[in-house]
Amino acid sequence: MATESNVTVAAESSADHELHALLACQKKAFASDINPDHATRMDRLNRLERLLERDAEPLADLIARDFGTRSRTMTAIGETVVLRSAIRHARRHLKTWMKPRRQGTGMAYRTGRSRLLRQPLGVVGIIGPWNYPLQLLVAPLVGALAAGNRAILKPSEITPLFAEALKHSVQAFFSADEVAVVTGDANVGRIFSSLPFDHLMFTGSTAVGRLVAQATAKNLTPVTLELGGKSPAIIDASCDLAQATERLAWGKLLNSGQTCIAPDYALVPRPQLHAFVEAVQASITKQYPSIVANPDYTSIVNARHYQRLRGLVEDARSRGARVIELNPASETLDATTRKLPPTLLLDVKDEMQVMREEIFGPLLPIVAYDTLDDAIAYVNERDRPLALYWFGTDRAHRERVLAHTLSGGVTINDTMMHIAQEDLPFGGVGPSGQGHYHGEFGFRTFSKEKPVFIQGRFSTGRLVYPPYTSSTDRVLRLLLRWA
């Protein structure tokens, strides 16, 4: 009789074989068309947009079922609209991105000329997370296809209904040797990340990102890591509190905080602390007048994450935090709905777990500061965040924050808007990630920018061919002067 461990080993062996076969199929197809022309790339982007046109709404419904409650409008705002914009941007600029670039040539070598050719890498692997399962798989795919690559996608097992549906949607618009989707559990993801892709992109937690980096290192596979971290929102003394808290509440509670660039905690001037708390409560109540019965308020994705967030609140409470749970309609909270109410945490301390890990939920710790330098120091004493937000009208303060902090991206006087700009790169720094994508930056990530030097009829190199003489020394002195 087969043991459970034997069954697991057999399943992993089968998955390993199937994944290697799929990768080999795509690599063979790429070798037959190593530099797809403009028309081919446009066709693939057009088919990707048709997929979204046809299947965006049913995919949104399945995402809602995976979460428990998530409105179709929220998915449109956070996923579909962004993707349609990305595809159209890529199509509009593709011909320019593909053109060889003329580069400068050193004075001593100007009998020749320099060029930069952008060529596809081959087969790109893309591992997506569960929080925005459509956008964070397809947005990298836009760049990969624009650059002329083939791609294999691995959705998260935490959103299984969506994952299976996306697999069938992709099969309807792409051949398996162009774009394919593979589904499965964490073991399949582990095997996937160890495949010898020409480039791998992973979006997810920092902890799993470390494991992915180790797996790709064995094959020397280039990897882009889009991770997360504790993204601060700095409230300046010069800000309009009503406006700032309205925008902060929107960014914090979109998808119930299950967003990698959601404001994780707020840094507030000590004299304005009470006014800030009142303003943010008013903003949250206006946007979400009810919680449990509100179809616009997203559920926490599963019971494990729900209990983790409840645990963060109780740990903070037990260590002296003041907890303000917002339940505007005074509803009976039911754990089966996984609707966790917006919760403010005051008097937080560094040893609290909520201040040591990315929250990824509707909890907002509030930290008081005395001077702007104190706020900057607080941010810099911690891991580099994926995003940073600053609210205020004092230009000197704004420029000081920008100059003296390091983060993946910044939005000023709003939250999350930088991710929607296709002309800006999106990515982290240090523990919040490495590498960028979006727009031309994604095209470049999934391309090899090949330097080419074309020698002229006369080569200055001949002036330093051996045998070396006193004339060679004179030529070298002249070259050093030109350099």
The pLDDT tens digits of the residues spanning 82-129 come to: 999 999 999 999 999 999 999 998 887 888 999 999 999 999 999 999
**Which residue stretches of 202-300 are H helix?**
206-217, 241-253, 273-287
Q: Where in the chain is the domain with CATH 3.40.605.10?
A: 10-227+435-449
Task: Report pLDDT for 117.
Answer: 96
CA–CA separation, 410 vs 404, rounded Å?
13
Per-residue DSSP letter, 335? G
Q: What are phi and psi of 245, to 5 degrees?
A: -70, -30
Run of H or E including 448: strand 447-454
Q: How far is CA 157 from CA 67, 68, 77, 133, in A?
A: 12, 15, 23, 10
CA dist 253 and 262 (Å) reads 8
Nearest alpha carbon to residue 333 among 315, 356, 313: 313
End-to-end Cα, the chain, rounded Å: 76
- What is the DSSP pairing of strand 387-391 with strand 232-235? parallel
181 contacts 109 by C-beta, under 8 angstroms? no
184 Cβ contact list (under 8 Å, min separation 6): 15, 154, 157
| Residue extent(s) of CATH 3.40.309.10 domains in the chain | 232-427
Distance separating alpha carbons of residues 370 and 351, to the nearest angstrom: 21
Q: How far is 306 from 345, CA to CA, in rounded Å? A: 17
Would you state the pLDDT for residue 478?
83
Q: Residue 160 CA to chain centroid, in angstroms?
A: 21
Answer for the pair 446, 121: CB distance below 8 angstroms, yes or no: yes
* Cα 234 to Cα 411: distance, rounded to the nearest angstrom: 11
φ, ψ for residue 279, nearest 5 deg: -70, -40
* Domain 10-227+435-449, CATH number (from 1.10.600.10, 3.40.50.2300, 3.40.605.10, 3.30.450.20): 3.40.605.10
Tokens, residue 253: 């509670």
CA distance 352 to 364: 13
- Please list, in sequence order, all residues whose beta carbon lies within 8 angstroms of the beta carbon of residue 467, skipping any fewer than 6 positions away: none
- In CATH, the architecture of 232-427 is 3-Layer(aba) Sandwich (3.40)
Tokens at 235, concatenated: 């409230």
Point out which residues pair with 150 in neighbouring strands.
Answer: 123
For the chain, residues with pLDDT lower than 70 are: 1-12, 483
pLDDT of residue 33: 97
- pTM passes above 0.85: yes
Q: Would you name the residues annotated as active-site residues?
A: 226, 260
pLDDT, position 464: 81
Q: Which residues pair with 118 in a beta bridge?
A: 449
Residue 4: the pLDDT is 57
Buried b (16+ CB within 10 A) or exposed e, 79-115: bbebbbebbebbbebbeebbeeeeeeeeebbeebebe
Q: Strands 101-103 and 113-120: what pairing?
A: antiparallel
**DSSP H or E stretch at residue 113:** strand 113-120
Q: What is the pLDDT of residues 265-276, one digit of tens each?
A: 999 999 999 999
